[in-house]
Structure 1
Amino acid sequence: MHKITPIAHIYTDFHSKFGVPRQHGIGELMGKIVFEKPFRDINMLRGLEKFSHIWLLWIFSENINAGYSATVRPPRLGGNKRRGVFATRAPFRPNSIGMSAVKIEEIIFECEESPIIIVSGVDMVNKTPIIDIKPYIKTDIINSATFPNIIHKLNVEIEESLLCKVPADKQSALIKILEEDPRPSYHKDGRQYGFYFAGMEIIFTVDCDTLRVIDVINI
């Protein structure tokens, strides 16, 4: 069997899986792709500057030994409805491989670790192993595709004094993360939760459809 070797790692603002968006696409969330030494060859990126987006194939490195189940409880369905693992984006899979479409913001060729790719719209934990990069092309868009509408957003309440603790360039992304309800599948209203984001711990509670941030702690 062919052995898969990480070609790079991506550096993000998420130091644990709690709080990571369940889907890619929040544009303000940035990532830096740093290649492993055998793949630090600018020729491998020749022509990539002509594309706006790329597909990243990556490893759910925090779940790699966690096993899998034939069915899972997607958080976006409230955590109480089961779906087949292949009908979801759940991280607990027979092969722990994730896939994300991200936007290329910059390709850096002149630095110690070059080439480096700066991307936006990430949904990965810090230092996630990348196993392949492919350009996003026109035929990847399927206009006739169908899918269930399961998006449910929370109302986010955060006092100005707490929001001011968050760097200005991180505030919009944080609000969007909270709107998507970062709690695990099994959750109860009224419980206090916390997750790490961009060097801060975000503490919050949820009551029905309202999420209230109760503290922002710099760490």
Structure 2
Amino acid sequence: MSSLSLSPIAVIRTPYKEKFAVPRQPDLVRDGTGIIELLPPYDCIEMVEGLEQFSHIWLIFQFNKIAAGKWQPRVRPPRLGGNRRIGVLASRATHRPNPLGLSKAELREIEFKDGKVRLYLGAVDLVDGTPIFDIKPYIAFADSQPDARSGFAAEKPSRPLSVEFSPVLEERLKKLEQKRPHFSRFIRDVISQDPRPAYRRNKADNHIYGILLHEFNIRWGIKPGTLNRAEILEIIEIAPCDSTKLPLG
């Protein structure tokens, strides 16, 4: 039997510079939008003719930040607290026999400019630079199944945690938002989803975390005095990153 060779037809540009920052599903962070750039020889307007008739699309992509051959037959989904194991094919875990993912995204605009085709999307859950292997239109009558059973992910994740900025950072964000509109809202929405490993949640945690969003390193942790009570995530620092060292996807 001959093997099938696949190559990306596009890459996606997003504000998420590492997988730690990415929401676990699309549509959770409104400002985390994406732009798909078709690659040669697929970057011609004929490739997307008629796609403007659809409001949403499916993206088939590669988990390209996962080391080859590191898949496992059983995984521990964060939605199950990171402790219970289930079969990898009963999850959307990244460590899979073939590191492929499927994601639905709102299609807001198609642009053909300077010989390039770009698709402007709504909220996404992909790392910047992720290879896209295929794009398909979302067809509501066939793809939506309101009465479907969804196992351990039957409901939207529980209410996000509270996030606070220091007064100094609040002032700095006002200046940053001249270039990055709604940047404080974006940071708050991403971190309120609690990207910490599941095993660290609901435990005493004095660790300081870093997360790369756009060209900034956001450092944050549990606000002192809230451990073992209702946790509040506190933004400690917003520092520019060296753009030459940012991961590509």
Deviations 1:100-126 (A, max 9, x none): 1111121111224x2111112111111
Residue 124 (structure 2) aligns with: 122
The alignment status of 1:14 with 2:40, answered yes or no, reads: no
Q: How far 1:160 moved relative to its partner? A: 4.4
Residue 161 (structure 1) aligns with: 168
The 8 Å contact of residues 68 and 92 in structure 1, kept in 2 or not, is answered as yes
Structure 2 residue ranges without an equivalent (≥5): 242-249
Query: Which stretch of structure 1 is more off in the superposition, 102-111 or 204-213?
Result: 204-213
Structure 1 residue ranges without an equivalent (≥5): none
TM-score when scaled to structure 1? 0.91
Residue 60 (structure 1) aligns with: 63
Cα distance change of structure 1 residues 77 and 161 upon mapping to structure 2, 3 Å threshold? farther
Q: Distance in 2 between matches of 1:100 and 1:149?
A: 17
SS at match of 1:156: strand
The alignment status of 1:174 with 2:190, answered yes or no, reads: no
The 8 Å contact of residues 31 and 122 in structure 1, kept in 2 or not, is answered as yes
TM-score when scaled to structure 2? 0.81
Q: How far 1:216 moved relative to its partner? A: 1.4
SS at match of 1:109: strand
Q: Distance in 2 between matches of 1:95 and 1:58?
A: 11
Q: Distance in 2 between matches of 1:21 and 1:66?
A: 24
The 8 Å contact of residues 55 and 106 in structure 2, kept in 1 or not, is answered as yes
Within the candidate set 198, 202, 207, 1:191 is matched to 207
Q: Which amino acid in the other structure matches residue 3 of structure 1?
A: S
Cα distance change of structure 1 residues 136 and 186 upon mapping to structure 2, 3 Å threshold? same
Q: Distance in 2 between matches of 1:171 and 1:100?
A: 26
Residue 201 (structure 1) aligns with: 217
Q: How far 1:48 moved relative to its partner? A: 0.5
Q: Distance in 1 between matches of 2:99 and 2:18?
A: 17
Within the candidate set 146, 157, 176, 1:151 is matched to 157
Deviations 1:136-193 (A, max 9, x none): 1112111102223472322222234324435333332322211211113443622111
The alignment status of 1:48 with 2:83, answered yes or no, reads: no
SS at match of 2:119: strand
How many residues were matched structurally? 218
- Report the structure number with the largest CA radius of gyration: 2
CA root-mean-square deviation: 1.8
Q: Which amino acid in the other structure matches residue 216 of structure 1?
A: I
Alignment identity in percent?
36
Query: Which stretch of structure 1 is more off in the superposition, 2-11 or 25-34?
Result: 25-34
Within the candidate set 236, 241, 246, 1:214 is matched to 236
Cα distance change of structure 1 residues 217 and 140 upon mapping to structure 2, 3 Å threshold? same
Within the candidate set 38, 41, 44, 1:38 is matched to 41
Residue 81 (structure 2) aligns with: 78
Q: How far 1:132 moved relative to its partner? A: 0.3
Query: Which stretch of structure 1 is more off in the superposition, 76-85 or 2-11?
Result: 76-85
Query: Which stretch of structure 1 is more off in the superposition, 151-160 or 34-43?
Result: 151-160
